Amino acid sequence: MKTYDTSAAVTLIDSFVVSESSKAEFLKLYEQTAKAIRTMPGFVEGYMYELIDEGSRYNFVTTAVWKDRQAYETAEQSIRASIEKTGVNPLEAVQNLTDEITRATYTRSPY
């Protein structure tokens, strides 16, 4: 089990509105992106949540927890460098498959 100071952890939370016609391609792209993120230094855990009732307009939510702000910022820099090198931008690809995205970073506390 990875150990880290949970009070220093940074969580990136993305919420998506994905049409039924884009769902399969969205899930494929998510898995490719998640596979790369899981290998980055400082990555702690990540999950995808799919809506099971009508409680929200967002039908997918993803979380990625980083051990601290430095790890999160390093991952962002690594992703930007990869985009510059390959010309492939995963966020743009996801935006093309979704009707709406919200993205924010949070700290977390147990309850």
The per-residue pLDDT for range 51-97, each reduced to its tens digit, is: 999 888 999 999 999 999 999 999 999 888 887 788 778 788 888 88
Mapping DSSP to helix (H, G, I), strand (E, B) and coil, where does residue 4 land? coil
The CA distance from 24 to 81, in Å, is: 28
Q: Are 83 and 92 in contact, with CB atoms under 8 Å apart?
A: no
The CATH number assigned to the domain with range 6-106 reads 3.30.70.100
List pLDDT tens digits, range 30-61: 998 898 899 999 999 999 999 999 888 999 99
| pTM of the predicted structure, to 2 decimals | 0.85
